[in-house]
Structure 1
Amino acid sequence: MKNPLCWVILTGVAFLLIQQGLPVYSQGDSQSDNKVMDNITVRQGETVFLSCSQGDVVTHSAWLNRSSIMYAGEDKWSVDPRVSLVTLNQDEFTIKIENVDMTDEGQYICAVQTRSRATTTSVHVIVQVPPKITSLSKDIVVNEGSNVSLVCSASGKPDPSVSWKIISPAAQSLTSEDEFLEIPSVSRQRAGTYECTAMNDVATDVQTVELTVNYAPTVSDGKDVGVTLGQQGVLQCEADAVPPADFEWYRDDRRIFNGFDGIEIEDSGALSKLTFFNVSEGDYGNYTCVAINKLGSANTSVVLFEVIEPTSSTLLQGPGAVQDGNSASRAGHTSTCLLVLLALQLLLKF
């Protein structure tokens, strides 16, 4: 067959017959040889080489894919720029496909024509695709006690496995070997960063979701503070809450505002400070701190009490200035005896 185009057309017909399972015969009515090579597995984005053996008396050869002729000898029939000829000689006929994609998966046939018979070699290309998380729950904010459902879906080939785990705080132990992670009646301890992992034989894809759990304030017990008159005193109040609490200070039923009577209120995160720069008699007493957010409130009481400094006279007398009752009694008896002796001496003179 001297006309290459006619031979290519015949090769295409042969390919169709092969797909239908029918026998193929050459010009000399000799049955063709049909060989099947092992599957070729390639990852998406990589390059695949397709090669078949030639012979000394080959007249024509071609590579075909599932629907069209790719190469007929040295002539490229494919319009795909990723396809190119690597080797064509008496020993082998090799082409390559770069940047392989899912559309390249399927059967490929190398057809070789000699003077006496036609030989076809088929190979199936399997394209593996790295996993990709295609649908993921967004960061979520819920109130304590709510039911939480996190969803993570992924695509890939082979089909990826999907799993969930909490990664922050690390002390928590919460996992799921499924696309869904259900957390019934969520507590504040379950707040944190959750990680979805999609994995197959090719690679791994990881993404995270932040779970925030709102809850009402809880306030630490206040510590009473003793301050000397005229000195600086600081009362503190600490609250645990999400969202963070706002603080209010009260003296009896009267709310205290910043700058009121020389008092400063400073809030920093979970801590509030009430500062007296020059404590007066009227400042001593009981104070109430109230922590408030949209879910509730909590309070604690703190006492500012007076600390009396030792006087200078007490410091000068030292330890000897303090005597017990027996010592005082003995001193009194001694004084009485001395007075009696002096009186007797005076009477004897007269």
Structure 2
Amino acid sequence: MGGRRFKFLLRFGIVINLLFGFVSNRVPKTPTIQLNRILEESALLSVHITSNNTVSIVKWIFHPRQGEANDLGRFSNGTWERWNKSDSLGQRLEMVDGTTLKISNLVVKDSGNYTAYVTFSTGVTESHTFSLTVYEPVREPQVTHKLISNAPDGCNVSLRCQASGKGDFRVSWKRGNPLRALGESPNWHQLCDSGEDLHLFWHRNASDANITCLVSNPADQKNISINLLSLCPAEEPVREPQVTHKLISNMPDGCNVTLRCQASGKGDFRVSWKRGNPLRALGESPDWHQLSDSGEDLHLFWHRNTSDANITCLVSNPADQKNISINLLSLCPAEGAAQFPAQDPPNQLHGILGGSVLFRLNVPPWKRVDEVEWKFTPTGGQPLLVAEFAEGKLRKPHPSNSFGPRVEMVDETTLKMKDLTMADSGVMDVRVRFASSVIVESFFNLIVHEPVPSPQINHQIVSSTANRCNVTLHCRTSGKSDLHFSWGNRNPLRTSEALEWYRLTNDDKDLHLSWRPNTSDSIFTCLVSNPVDQKNISFDVFNICQDEAQDGCSCFSWVRTAMVVGLGLQVATIISLNVLERKVGDQC
């Protein structure tokens, strides 16, 4: 009996020991903690210990998103031991305290699961897992817009939120301040599938004018707001239009005339034409009128026997309208009056490269100017609106073009253009509107010239004697074809007045002289000029003609000297022979 009881107790003890041993070997797990961090930030993995027992060892293992697990190290007895400091985490790991691991300068490859195995002094071990995801920072978004339509009660507009960068991010829209959801009503807004495009109709009486785009990932968020008031401006009042005219021809039965309705101001406006009083449509018949594509220009043939002499231009937007009428009787005078309008010839202006020029209007001082428009057409180019002057201020519609920083107003009727280039040659069209609504148009034809280069004079002696020197002087320069050459010798030498002692050829570049030292001045000057600059150079023909004459005289002197010396030698020889004959005769 006792033996059976002993065996039973022994077997029961073994089972209990095996059971407790199995339970003690299992490592209790805590719920995984999710951490989201931004690139180059730091992450703290802090283990929350619930047991009152003393921690003996904390061992850390890293499971990356891809690849094998990495045994990072362990912390025990107050010391942090790293197993492999050459791994991807390198020197970026440190233990802040016994249960907190810090990862510095995070990179995307640091994403993964970090498990801490905590062993207590009782021998019990439990695990704590941290799922870390490292995201790139969200970049600043940009919102572009497109105004579909603008009406008095509101506007249709499309907004696009452009988010750049790597990784997954989410685009959403909010309204107001503080931010709140757009709402579920599809009556005023519609989102595309990606959420980037927002199409909406904004009512002007709505309190929320701010729309905000938010771009986010689990670790970061950026936003940008746009004010719909700036995208949907209320329609400005229409300014008073002006009508200019050009009489093409005038005949007994009527006249051909072109009318232009000029509408200025901001915003969209529509130009239309009416006739008569009360106003009515021009009609669809093309026999007597034709409109340009923009509607601003009206070309018509007006019959004198028609009852409608009034033509009215209407300029309107959805909120306002202005009009101006013109009477065709005043434009088409009956026979005996002037048949064609007189036009002033363009004012010719010349400028020098790098210099400046003034476009000065001839306006009587008693006439008050309301507006001046300056439009420039370069040679072979397209017209460009350079500047507008109104209410005492100069406005440059295109400040970034080549004219922007180079034009300024000297006074109400004078425009100055500086730092001239060769491309500035062309026609400046100036339209002046006076307080009386009369419009006057003037033209300036500008030609920009290069500075005249310094000339040179080369000479060629044809013949030279003591009494006359025939020489040709060539005046040359490196300039272009717009240069004018002329010569002077005390007085100008002209081709039409050429005398027998000089002649000009080769477009007055070459001067042929038959110069006598005792009859005229020896200094001749070549003048090279264009309308804005001139250079000159002088040449003294006395020096070259005197040298040539002296060379001729010196040759003649040598010949005479040789003849005299030869004659002297002959005389000396004859005398010597006579002396020798006498001596020989005396000896005999």
TM-score norm. by structure 2 comes to: 0.28
Structure exhibiting the larger radius of gyration computed from Cα positions: 2
TM-score norm. by structure 1 comes to: 0.42
Name which structure has the greater RCO, CA cutoff 8 Å, separation 6+: 1
